[in-house]
Amino acid sequence: AEEFGIKQALKDLGLNDVNNGTSTGKDWFSNGDIIESYSPVDGELIGKVKATTSEDYEKTVSTAAKGFKEWRTWPAPQRGEVVRQFNDELRRLKEPLGKLVSYEMGKSYQEGLGEVQEMIDICDFAVGLSRQLHGLTMHSERPGHRMYEQYHPLGVVGIISAFNFPVAVWSWNTALAWVCGDACIWKGSEKTPLTSVACQNIAAKVFAENNVPEGISCLITGDYKVGEMMTKDERVPLISATGSTRMGKIVAKEVAGRLGKTLLELGGNNAIIVTPDADIKNTVIGAVFGAVGTCGQRCTSTRRLIIHEDIYDKVKDAIVSAYKQIRIGNPLDENNHVGPLIDKDAVKNYQHALKKVVEEGGTILVEGGVLEGEGYESGCYVKPAIAEAKNDFEIVQHETFAPVLYIMKYSGDVSDALELQNGVRQGLSSAIMTNNLREAERFLSTEGSDCGIANVNIGTSGAEIGGAFGGEKDTGGGRESGSDAWKVYMRRQTNTINYTTELPLAQGIKFDL
Ligand code: UN1
């Protein structure tokens, strides 16, 4: 790692002393068991942090609840100004943070930088939003009355994020929640604790410089048990959780049981439909990046290709031959396209999927396998694989977080392809490759894709922050990031004001005393 400047990056991010596991920071009060963070890149120990105990959690949530009471009174544009300064720091630290993301999570350095860019973009978005956060006014049915709605800060927001986007998903939530006037408690993944601490340090510094009350950006560390403290806690009105459908169902039940709100961004099983009118060159780029980028560990990764029979062989051959160009190795080395999986459990899931697809009757088109030898010592590097499969195979119905692409054939028209595409439990991202207007519009119509994201002539992954991000069915229904996703971080109030000397009742009801 040293040749790629990891030590310097840790230093730039203020992580020199986190490496012995003794450090706590502002609004991060963890005193529990040690969590060790090993890099999937080279298997080296990067650092240690302490997990949050229940006493630490109590301290965190009471600090956040207290801080919220003051923060909510700050004018939103002033909160936006703090986010602007936080963003300046992100711009300044883009390279070390992108590098740490790459080293701790395993995605390519380019993608690490791209992830930090998403943070920068959402902060810009949030700063503009801080002068908006608008409700509607409507005409009252009563004379001399005014009616309008306004959005007030919600309270303490709990954020649970996953290892695969260890920094961006936090920022999608916090940047919006902060300008909305909320306090945030973040539980990042226990697989990427150092990137969480790096982000916490950046926010803590900027917040302290601006005299932001204590508790507006809190960090808790540990496994699902720490997350559970938040999901059960009535002082946390909103839980925003990103991760598996299994996790989401548990969180949804727990939070609904206390009538809290959830924002869930769960699994995907994303497909690209390739029609006879597709541009083959762009299809190959979109599909290959979608399937192997981030080593197949994005929620939006391409899992299935649904190809029309007339062009099936042509597209299949083009994709198979593109796979031969893929360079797998240290993700900090910009010559490589694909880095490691996050850990050995992920490698096992990958191996299981390849075995299972064959057992169910699939055919391997591009052989997988775990890489060994020099440069692959961590045991987490695998070869992206392709299998010809049927949509109703159990393994195809299941989201495997690894670079395994299933390809299948459709005949007939685009509605036959849509049957397959929509024929899974998940509903996050989808795409069609076509230059045929009728097919494209059909795909986007009410009878078209049932996903939260539907793209034409673009792959399934790599959404911009300006749109609402999320999906339907087993994906959980939440929307984060752009558009009006901010509304979930606020509470809506309808206000009616009578400025007359009378008190007329609505619906024309007479009530004379
Ligand atoms: C995720 O995998 O949880 O659209 C987020 C994309 C990225 C975000 C993915 N902008 O692929």
Distance, CA 137 to ligand 1 centroid (Å)?
35
Nearest atom within ligand 1 for CA of residue 469: 4
* Closest CA to ligand 1's atom 3: 299
- Give residue 457 CA to ligand 1 midpoint distance, Å: 18
What is the Cα–Cα distance from 429 to 450, expressed in whole angstroms?
9
Please tell me the predicted confidence (pLDDT) of residue 22: 54
Q: Is the pLDDT of residue 181 over 90?
A: yes
3-state secondary structure 204-241: HHHHHHCCCCCCCEEEECCCHHHHHHHHCCCCCCEEEE
- The tens digit of pLDDT for each residue in 109-157 reads 999 999 999 999 999 999 999 999 999 999 999 999 999 999 999 999 9
Catalytic residue status for 265? yes
Band of residue 47 on the pLDDT scale cut at 50, 70, 90: very high
H or E stretch at 249? helix 245-257
Which pLDDT belongs to residue 436?
Answer: 98
Instruction: For residue 206, give Cα distances in angstroms to 85, 89, 179, 237.
Output: 7, 8, 15, 26
- Give the number of the atom of ligand 1 that is nearest the alpha carbon of residue 453: 4
299 lines ligand 1 (CB under 6 A): yes
Q: Give the separation between CA 488 and CA 70, rounded to whole angstroms.
A: 20
| Residue 477 pLDDT class (50, 70, 90 cuts) | very high
Asked if 50 and 34 touch (Cβ cutoff 8 Å), the reply is: yes
Whether the CB-CB separation of 160 and 150 falls below 8 Å is answered with no
Length of the chain: 513
Q: Pick the catalytic residue: 123, 180, 295, 299?
A: 299
Determine how β-strand 453-456 pairs with β-strand 429-433: parallel
Residue-by-residue DSSP string for 383-451: --EEEE--TTSHHHHS--SSSEEEEEEE-SSHHHHHHHHH-SSEESEEEEE-S-HHHHHHHHSTTS--S
E strand residue ranges, 21-169: 34-38, 45-50, 137-138, 145-153, 156-160
**pLDDT tens figures, 348-368:** 999 999 999 999 999 999 999
Q: What is the mean pLDDT of residues 160-177?
A: 98
Over 70: is that where the pLDDT of 384 sits? Answer: yes
pLDDT (tens digit, 9 = 90+) per residue, 6-17? Answer: 999 999 998 876
Rounded to whole angstroms, the Cα distance separating 388 from 441 reads 28
d(CA 232, CA 305): 40
Q: Token match 């630290």: residue?
A: 93
Please check whether residue 123 is in contact with residue 129, taking contact to mean a CB–CB distance below 8 angstroms: no
* pLDDT digit string, tens, across residues 2-45: 789 999 999 999 887 666 665 567 778 888 999 999 999 999 99
ipTM value for the complex: 0.98
Pairing mode of beta strands 217-220, 238-242: unpaired
- Model confidence pLDDT, tens digit, residues 56-87: 999 999 999 999 999 999 999 999 999 999 99
On whether the CB atoms of residues 219 and 186 are closer than 8 A, the answer is: yes
- Is the pTM higher than 0.90? The answer reads yes
Structural contact between residues 198 and 14, judged by C-beta atoms closer than 8 angstroms: yes
Return the amino acid letter for 375: G
Is residue 125 within 8 A of residue 246, CB to CB? The reply is no
| Degrees to nearest 5, angle at CA 476 with 353 and 302 | 40
Q: DSSP state, 481?
A: E
- Ligand 1 atom showing the smallest separation from residue 268 Cα: 2
Report CA 305 to chain centroid distance, whole Å.
Answer: 23
Question: Known catalytic residue: 299?
Answer: yes
CB of 463 shorter than 6 A to ligand 1: yes
DSSP 8-state symbol, 146:
E
Taking every pair of Cα atoms in the chain, the longest distance, rounded to a whole number of angstroms, is 91
The one-letter amino acid code at 157 reads: V
**From the candidates 265, 399, 439, 480, which is the catalytic residue?**
265
Residue spans of alpha helices (H) in 106-192: 109-129, 168-179
As a whole-number percent, the residues of the chain with pLDDT over 90 amount to 95
User: In the prediction, which pLDDT does 27 show?
Assistant: 79
How sure is the predictor about 324, in pLDDT bands with cuts at 50, 70 and 90? very high
Distance CA 386, CA 189 (A): 29
Q: Please tell me the predicted confidence (pLDDT) of residue 19.
A: 62
Phi/psi of residue 230, each to 5°?
Answer: -75, -45
Q: How far is Cα 64 from Cα 218, in angstroms, rounded to an integer? A: 7
pLDDT at 21: 61
Q: Separation of 351 CA from ligand 1 center, angstroms?
A: 24
Mean pLDDT of 450-473: 97
The token pair at 10 is: 């840790």
Gap between the Cα atoms of 428 and 405, Å rounded? 17
Q: What three-state secondary structure class fits 36?
A: strand
In angstroms, what is the span from residue 298 Cα to ligand 1's centroid? 6
CA dist 101 and 503 (Å) reads 61
Confidence at residue 30, expressed as pLDDT on a 0 to 100 scale: 87
The CB of 298 under 6 Å from ligand 1? The reply is yes
Q: Which two tokens stand for residue 301?
A: 């990764």
For residue 465, the ligand 1 atom closest to its alpha carbon is 10
Torsion of CA 42, 43, 46, 48, to 10 degrees: 170
Let me know the angle formed at the C-alpha of 453 by 449 and 455, rounded to the nearest 5 degrees: 75
DSSP 20: G
Tell me, what's the pLDDT at 367?
Answer: 98
Strand 453-456 and strand 261-265: the pairing is: unpaired
Q: What DSSP designation does 182 have? A: -
